[in-house]
Structure 1
Amino acid sequence: MRIGQGFDVHAFGPGDCVVLGGVAVPHTHGVVAHSDGDVVIHALCDAVLGALALGDIGQHFPPGDERWRGADSRVFLRHCRALMRERGYVLGNADVTVVAERPKVGPHAAAMRECLAADLGCAVDAVSVKATTSERLGFTGRGEGIAAMAVVLLQRSGE
């Protein structure tokens, strides 16, 4: 078994939704990012890549590479799944926490879990998505941006 953890953050910017876990969540802002800025998927990718000792998302999808401008982050997660499989691993489980005062994640968590499970090739009950606030402290508390943390357990295929 291997464990990995990941973290991502993006500042809020112009827009009317944020993409979280592959789901467009209505909001008063979008995010400033090279891709779609999905902090949930970016944190998950870093967790998987870390568990595999393969660096981070920026090494696989450099932000300076124009191919990834505005990219759907689900492409990144499917790439990470392929790397898992190539190395003989499957996802045991994943746990994600979104840190933001807004938007509210709860009403969209089930849809996020479905998207993430589909891209990771696992059962929905192996993926947890939850949220917390930072009690109005720091950049997330002031509503300047959004963050996500993720941890994954990878298991050898067939275990």
Structure 2
Amino acid sequence: MSFRIGSGIDFHQLGEGRPLMLGGVHVPYERGCIGHSDADVLLHAICDALLGALALGDIGVHFPDTDDRYKGIDSKELLRHTYMLIQQEGYRVINIDSTLCLQEPKIKPHVPAMRAAIAGLTGLTEQDVSIKATTTEELGFVGRKEGVVAYATVLLQRF
């Protein structure tokens, strides 16, 4: 039985006129993440963790921001495709542990929907998807409400 662990991280700047998408869910807030896709920082970190676990590169290799096919794309599609790559390599996801770093908004009310969305895209139960949040105690660009950071760790098992 073969196991692989992957970690991922993603950063996005916050800006006006964009919806805030986190974990496949729209979170009401006056600003959203800026990026080529819908800039869902949490799903991007999860994609990177999955790809990294099997040494398949990173999200930029598979979905480059220079490719217009991915302009404005829903990051759930990126995670769906990444999960398909994991399955093609003969692996399944055992669990996902993630952390969002943002000063605001509070995401606790949205975590159940995020867990459900991620579980549905990765063949997991919601109990196998952990989403935590923290602030940076007003330190750095996150503390100044200029951006959001997400970290993810995944465990894969060969099937």
1:71 is displaced (CA, Å) by 0.3
Name which of structure 1's ranges 10-19 and 22-31 shifts more when overlaid on structure 2: 10-19
Partner of 1:96: 98
Q: Which amino acid aligns with 1:92?
A: I
Are 1:7 and 2:9 counterparts? yes
Q: Which amino acid aligns with 2:34?
A: V
| Matched position secondary structure for 1:58 | helix
| Structure 1 residue corresponding to 2:42, chosen from 34, 40, 43 | 40
Residues in 2 aligned to 1:151 and 1:15: alpha-carbon distance in whole angstroms: 31
Residues in 2 aligned to 1:78 and 1:28: alpha-carbon distance in whole angstroms: 28
Matched-pair identity in %: 52
Post-superposition Cα deviations, 1:117-140, rounded to whole Å, max 9, x if no partner, equal 000111111100110000100100
Partner of 2:132: 130
Partner of 1:145: 147
1:10-25 matched pairs, under 5 angstroms: 10-15=12-17, 17-25=19-27
TM-score, normalised to structure 1, is 0.96
Partner of 1:64: 66
CA contact (8 A) 2:25 2:113 kept: yes
1:17 is displaced (CA, Å) by 3.2
Residues in 2 aligned to 1:132 and 1:25: alpha-carbon distance in whole angstroms: 16
1:142 is displaced (CA, Å) by 0.5
1:68-79 matched pairs, under 5 angstroms: 68-79=70-81
Post-superposition Cα deviations, 1:76-132, rounded to whole Å, max 9, x if no partner, equal 101111111111111110011000011111110000000000001111111001100
Q: Which amino acid aligns with 2:46?
A: L
Residues in 2 aligned to 1:31 and 1:93: alpha-carbon distance in whole angstroms: 26
Partner of 2:121: 119
1:16 is displaced (CA, Å) by 5.8
Residues in 2 aligned to 1:16 and 1:47: alpha-carbon distance in whole angstroms: 25
Name which of structure 1's ranges 79-88 and 37-46 shifts more when overlaid on structure 2: 79-88
1:15 is displaced (CA, Å) by 2.6
| Matched position secondary structure for 1:101 | coil
Residues in 1 aligned to 2:17 and 2:26: alpha-carbon distance in whole angstroms: 11
Structure 1 stretches of 4+ with a deviation exceeding 4 A read none
Residues in 1 aligned to 2:48 and 2:34: alpha-carbon distance in whole angstroms: 19
Partner of 1:109: 111
CA contact (8 A) 2:18 2:33 kept: no
| Matched position secondary structure for 1:77 | helix
